[in-house]
Amino acid sequence: MENYAKQSNNTYCKMYKRGIVSIIILLGSFTLFAQIDSEMAQLDSITYAQYYHAQWKQLLQTADNAIKSKKDFYWLNVRAAIAASAIHKPYRETSYLQNITKEYPFDPISLPLVYLNQLNTGQYAHALQTNHRMQSNTELQKYYTRRPVVHSLSAESGYKPSSNDSLYKPLYYGQAGLAFRIKHIPIYTAVSYLKQQSYYGNMQQYQLYVNATLPFKRNWTVTPALHILHYNIENTITVNDSSVLQNSPILVGLNIAKLFHNFQYNFGVYYSNLNYEKQLQIQPSVNWYPLANNKIILNAAANYIVQKNKVITSATITYNPITLLSFSGSYLAANTRYFIEQNGLLVNNSYDPTENRYLGMVTFFPRINWSIYVVYLYETKTLNQDPLPVITYNNQMGVLGIKRAF
C-alpha cells in the first residue's frame, strides 16, 4: 500500500531560501502600493509594523479582521501569508495566498510562496503547475529549477497469516510503486503480486494500478484511476462453474478533491466487477488539519455500495510529533466483501466478508527524502460457504516498506 504519510520538503525549502529572502526585502517598497483610502492606509501601516517586528500572531489577527470586513489588499495578504508560514501554519497560509492568486495569478513575488506552500500541504499537482509559471519568469529562474521527472520510488512486502491455518495458509504480498510526471501532470503507478494456499486451491494474483492528478483553480483536483487485476486458482475442490478459477476484473473511477482552509474534501465514484460482481461505490471523505499544519491529521470516510445498499465507515488519525517520525492508526467497519479504498489502490476482493479491521502504521525518516514504514493489520472475517459451517476467523498482517523521494 502506498505510504501517504508526510514527506519532508527540507531540501526544497533550503534550495529556495535565498529566493524568499529576496522577496521579503521587496516588502520594503510597500508605500508604493499604499491605498488612497485612509483606513486602508492605516491597515497598511499597522501590518507592515507587525511584520517588521515579527509580531506574527497579531499580524494574523489584524489580517483576518480586515478580510472579514472586506478591506484586505495585496500586501496585507502577502504579510499574513509570511506570518502563517513563520509559525508553521501552512493550511492557514493557503487562504491568504489564494486571495493573492485570485487577482494576480502570475504574480512573480507571491509565486515562490505559493510553490512552497503547495509542497507543504501536499498539493503536488498544483506545485508542478506553479513551478512551470516560475520557469517562464526571468526574475525567478536563478532561484528555481524544474522538478525531476521521477518523483518517488517505493517497494513493500507483506506477510498475512490466518488464525485458521486449516482454511488459509499465510498470504505473501509484494508491491513496487513509481510516481513521475508527464509535463505538469503527476502520475502514480504500482504493480502488485499476491499468492496464498487455501482450502479451495492455490491462488496467484497480479495487479496493475495507475492514476493521474489533474489540477484546477482554487485548489481543486480530479484524479482518475484504473486498476487491472488477474488471478488464477489451481483448484483442489470441485466447483460448479470453473470460470471462477480465473478472471481479470477491472476497477475504474475518479476522485474529486478540494482544499479549503483546514479541510480537504474528497468525493470518489468507482465501478468494479470483482469476482463477476458489478458494483458502483460512492466514497465521500474529509481530512481535517486542526492545528493548520501536518502535526495532527484526522480523516473520516464512508463508502456506499449502491447495489448492496451498504455503507462502510472508517476513521484515521495521523500524528507527526517530530520530523523523523509519523504514527497513524485507523479503524474500519465493513461487514461486506469486494470493496475498494485509497482511490482504488487497495482492493479487497476476498470472497469472505471483512467484518472489522484495525491498522497501525509507523513511518521513520532516516534521511531527507527517505522513509521506511511498518504496518500492522488485524481483521476479523467470516466464511459462509456450503458445505462448510459458518466460521469466524481473523487475519494479522505485517508490511515493511521503503520509499525514496526526489
Same domain, 314 and 179: yes
Give SS3 for 302. Answer: strand
C-alpha cell at 291: 492545528
- Closest residue by Cα to residue 350 from 166, 168, 159: 168
Same domain, 130 and 159: no
Same domain, 84 and 180: no
Same domain, 312 and 176: yes
For residue 393, is it within any domain? yes
Supply the CATH number for residue 224's domain: 2.40.160.40
**pLDDT tens digit sequence for 143-198:** 676 788 999 999 999 999 999 999 999 999 999 999 999 988 999 999 999 999 99
Same domain, 249 and 219: yes
C-alpha to C-alpha distance for 108 and 346, rounded to whole angstroms:
41
Same domain, 97 and 169: no
What is the chain's length? 406
| Cβ neighbours of 237 (radius 10 Å) | 8
C-alpha cell at 75: 500586501
For residue 158, is it within any domain? yes
Please state the pTM of the whole predicted model: 0.87
C-alpha to C-alpha distance for 45 and 30, rounded to whole angstroms:
9
**What amino acid occupies position 287?**
N
Supply the CATH number for residue 47's domain: 1.25.40
Same domain, 112 and 65: yes
What residues in the chain have per-residue pLDDT under 50? 1-19, 21-22, 25-36
Question: 310-322 and 296-305 as β-strands: parallel, antiparallel, unpaired?
Answer: antiparallel
Same domain, 117 and 207: no
C-alpha to C-alpha distance for 127 and 118, rounded to whole angstroms:
5
C-alpha cell at 230: 488477474
Which secondary-structure segment (H or E) carries 67?
helix 56-68
For residue 4, is it within any domain? no
Same domain, 290 and 317: yes
C-alpha to C-alpha distance for 382 and 359, rounded to whole angstroms:
19
For residue 9, is it within any domain? no
Give SS3 for 106. Answer: coil
Residues forming beta bridges with residue 180, ordered by sequence position: 150, 187
CA distances from 131 to 98, 104, 113, 147, 383 (A): 16, 16, 11, 8, 52
Same domain, 305 and 165: yes
Instruction: Give percent of the chain with pLDDT exceeding 70.
Output: 88
Alpha helices in 136-285 (DSSP H): none
Q: Please, are residues 97 and 77 in contact by the beta-carbon 8 Å criterion?
A: yes
pLDDT of residue 369: 93
Q: Please, are residues 69 and 77 in contact by the beta-carbon 8 Å criterion?
A: no
Q: What is the largest CA-CA distance in the chain?
A: 87
Q: Number of structural domains, the chain?
A: 2
For residue 267, is it within any domain? yes
CA distances from 291 to 83, 91, 179, 288, 320 (A): 15, 9, 29, 9, 12
C-alpha to C-alpha distance for 376 and 359, rounded to whole angstroms:
6
The single-letter DSSP state of residue 168 is: B
pLDDT of residue 324: 95
Boundary residue ending a domain (135, 165, 196): 135
The single-letter DSSP state of residue 53 is: T
Same domain, 118 and 154: no
**pLDDT tens digit sequence for 284-298:** 999 999 999 999 999
C-alpha cell at 258: 478540494
C-alpha to C-alpha distance for 269 and 333, rounded to whole angstroms:
20
Same domain, 196 and 287: yes
Q: Please, are residues 7 and 119 in contact by the beta-carbon 8 Å criterion?
A: no
Q: b/e per residue, 77-114, with b = 16+ CB within 10 A? A: bbbbbbbbbeeebbbbbbbbbbbbbeeeeebbbbbbbb
For residue 5, is it within any domain? no
Nearest 10 degrees: Cα torsion 81, 82, 87, 93? 20
For residue 145, is it within any domain? no
Boundary residue ending a domain (135, 164, 185): 135
pLDDT of residue 21: 45
Give SS3 for 136. Answer: coil
For residue 397, is it within any domain? yes
Residue-range definition of the domain harbouring residue 258: 150-405
